[in-house]
Amino acid sequence: MKKSFVFWISLSLYFSSCSVYEPAPLIPSEIRKEIRLQREVRASSPQYQNFLISGEMDLRRAATLMAQRNVDLKVARQQYEQARKLSLEKTPWPNPELEIGGILGTDLGDGGDERRVQPLAAFGFTIPLGGRLARQDELHLLLAEKAQLVLLLQHRQSYQKLRRLYVRTLLLEQQLEMQKSIIEAAKKSLDITKRLVQAGVATALDVGIVQLDLVGEKQKLIALKAKIHENKGEFSRLTGVSMESSYQLMRENLPTLPAKPMSIEKLEPLMMENQADLLLIKANYQIAEKELEQEISVQTPDVTLRPSFERDPGEDSNIFELSLEFPLPLFDRNEQAILQKKGQRKILRIQYQASLVRHLSLLRESFEKYLLHQEEWNLNKETLQKAKQNQEIASLSLRSGESDFLRYLEVERTRRSSLFEGTIVELDLYLAWFDLEELVGRPLLFFPGEEEKDIPAANRLEKLPEVSKGVARE
């Protein structure tokens, strides 16, 4: 009775400790309702209302919002948390085996019917050898470290994209203001040209040319507004800030771009330490190494210890047995899995080499591209200076009667066009610099108020607990 009680208690404890399946269906319509409800609650909160009404957004505030609200970062963070939890769980030993049955005896002779059916019980448990469980724990730790690396790399890439978007938006808004002033000047030129027609100095053709120029400038204004709206949409997706927000990016000083970046010899090792593709291939290579080591450890067979008890139907006696079981690796030595993992490791090594060659080439290309944009920027300064001189000469010629007013308007229009082209050249220069930074894998210059600690960096990985390395199992 006591043995039966212990058996049922053990059985109930076993089933009570098992996980229970809980369905969690993904229903798109319900998720959409949740998102709408979250937006309504957030939009009605005083803090959010203040944010919608009030004004300025600097780079640091935008980066904070991105870290809190960006959906891609939330997914990567959840994947890391899942991998981290798995790395903290040690790989369990194989479950023991319990065998319960009976022995039926026949032709037992006189008095044998009383012993015809006798109990049989056996209990076996497997002892894993070869460090297989420790290798599995180490593999889970490497997978968690890779998930953390993916999170930090994605955060840093998003941060670099945010910086690029911030500068692009500021310079586009600067172009927008300049374009508005160009349109106002074009309107004044049109009004003056019409007066000159009345005075008999200009013709209807001159009016038509100025009107056509005004229409072209208005089209440029619409195109600029479309680009700014597109930027605002990207900014919204990146930071989680509603498109309806009335924020204004702070016109803080932009970082001064160098005439020439650091040398290729210095940029190359910096890129190898920070470039996302290279770091991920390296992480995958370390995982492939551990998987190969794990498959090699499988070659060492596990040992099963099996004590058993039975009663002999033919004799009034108890029999206790102890056996040691292990497979003989005569035919299957896990060679197929080992060859596969060796091949995977070799492929990753080749991929790293190919990716490094590609990125070294792109680095030099991006480096030369920035230098060309820097040269273009220097020429643009000369163009602007020359356009200003021409305007001064045209103004003096107009006052002295050597030139007419239409000629002066043409020179003025050329100068405005040069000023606008200058903003385009400046934007292209900054974008070329950001291309170089993104290729290297980290910012190379800081904004005013920006510090090294603000940049998510892969060399600041959180050290994961070593409890799952399984050192004690060796």
Q: What is the pLDDT of residues 430-470, one digit of tens each?
A: 999 999 999 999 888 888 778 788 787 644 555 665 543 43
DSSP 3-state of 242:
coil
DSSP string spanning 134-197?
A: HHHHHHHHHHHHHHHHHHHHHHHHHHHHHHHHHHHHHHHHHHHHHHHHHHHHHHHHHHHHHHHH
| Alpha-carbon torsion angle 356, 357, 361, 367, nearest 10 | 30
Amino acid at 23: P
Determine contact, residues 122/249, Cβ cutoff 8 Å: no
What pLDDT does 368 receive? Answer: 94
Average confidence (pLDDT) over 226-232: 90
Determine contact, residues 109/94, Cβ cutoff 8 Å: no
CA distance from start to end of the chain: 42
List of residues 6+ apart from 233 with CB closer than 8 A:
243
Average confidence (pLDDT) over 222-247: 83
State pTM to two decimals. Answer: 0.79
49 is a domain residue: no
What is the tally of structural domains in the chain?
1
Q: Is residue 226's pLDDT more than 50?
A: yes
Domain containing 79: what range?
57-89+128-299+334-464
394 is a domain residue: yes
Q: How many CB atoms lie within 10 A of CB 366?
A: 21
262 is a domain residue: yes
403 is a domain residue: yes
**Token pair of 209 as six digits:** 């040319």
310 is a domain residue: no
pLDDT, tens only, 273-305: 999 999 999 999 999 999 999 888 888 888 888
220 is a domain residue: yes
51 is a domain residue: no
73 is a domain residue: yes
H/E stretch holding 441 reads none
Edge-to-edge strand ranges of the sheet holding 97-104 = 97-104, 117-127, 303-311, 318-325
pLDDT, tens only, 16-52: 556 666 677 777 877 777 766 655 545 555 555 544 4
Determine contact, residues 313/116, Cβ cutoff 8 Å: yes
CATH assignment of the domain containing 217? 1.20.1600.10
